[in-house]
Structure 1
């Protein structure tokens, strides 16, 4: 059984971001795994959504934003989006991921594929020495895929510690 929690809060993330944000999150029953996190903001305009693919979830939920999510919202808004979905390669919630957190989860795999299929613009941002898997490359085919910055080992950098003046870099498979 999975629970869908909603909350609507007023937040001010940056000088240009001061509007109503709808918040949504999908967890397992005991909230040890988060499968999907969404934020949407608009003034009745057409929805322009994007997806950030991260490594594993941290502390953000349907009511609270963590520093990483705030940075993803900043970039999403900067790049012209008004809806953000965050999915993770591994659903185990942890602020300090360990090897045990990287086990395969069928439910998460299914949700990752579904969310990607419903969106055109995808940002890779897992910030860990993790090479993209073949199944993920297949799912990302025909999508507009970007990174904010690449690491020396050619993996997407995590957004939290990046400068705010970056522009998306297209990735081709």
Structure 2
């Protein structure tokens, strides 16, 4: 599947790790850092439905660039396919790459878009906590359809016209 026009990837993993995707994106004048739960099949050459949906939402909200990161970098089209335990090796690589991206995009806000997948594996909460510690002081955003659990929604089943709003993580919506 092709990327939405104007959102073709020009940022991706420099070194490949089998079964993982650490970063994917397109640098723009107004770039939003997006944090999902786990990557799907999109890569530097081919998009997927979720990435194209997210790119359309971003375009409709005035963004021309994105950097897609994830709580956990293992490619799992279905969140239930995530392993029961965290692989510390790939997770530590994920944190290092996130630190590097944050240092390159100092003025970019953060869109949280992991949805209820956060509840699928216990280690995902620790991943979120560690990543949020790196994002201290950044403006957090989410799609305007916060879940019943108070979580920032995943974009896949949202309208292309959905607004991006400010978001604050509370202890009861982790």
Please state which band the TM-score falls in when normalised by the shorter chain.
0.7 to 0.9
Whole-angstrom CA distance in 2 between matches of 1:12 and 1:99: 25
The total of aligned residue pairs comes to: 154
The equivalent residue for 1:7 is none
Query: What's the TM-score, normalizing by structure 2?
Result: 0.76
Unaligned runs of 5+ in 1: 1-10, 42-46
Question: Residue 111 of structure 1 is aligned with which of 87, 94, 97?
Answer: 97
The equivalent residue for 1:158 is 154
Q: State the SS of the aligned residue for 2:151.
A: coil
Whole-angstrom CA distance in 1 between matches of 2:85 and 2:149: 20
Whether the aligned pair in 1 keeps the contact of 2:33 and 2:109 (CA below 8 Å) is: yes
Distance 1:81 1:32, change over 3 A: same
Shift of 1:29: 3.5
- Is 1:69 aligned to 2:51, yes or no? yes
The equivalent residue for 1:95 is 77
The equivalent residue for 1:44 is none
Whole-angstrom CA distance in 1 between matches of 2:7 and 2:152: 30
More strand by share: 1
1:109-142, Cα deviation, whole Å (9 max, x unpaired):
1112332342421100012252574323322222
The aligned runs of 1:8-157 (5 Å cut-off) are 13=4, 18-19=5-6, 21-26=8-13, 29-40=16-27, 47-97=29-79, 98-100=81-83, 103=86, 104=88, 105-117=91-103, 118-119=105-106, 120-130=108-118, 131=125, 133-148=128-143, 149-157=145-153
Unaligned runs of 5+ in 2: 119-124, 170-174
More helix by share: 2
Moved more, 18-27 or 159-168: 18-27
Query: What's the TM-score, normalizing by structure 1?
Result: 0.77
The equivalent residue for 1:172 is 168
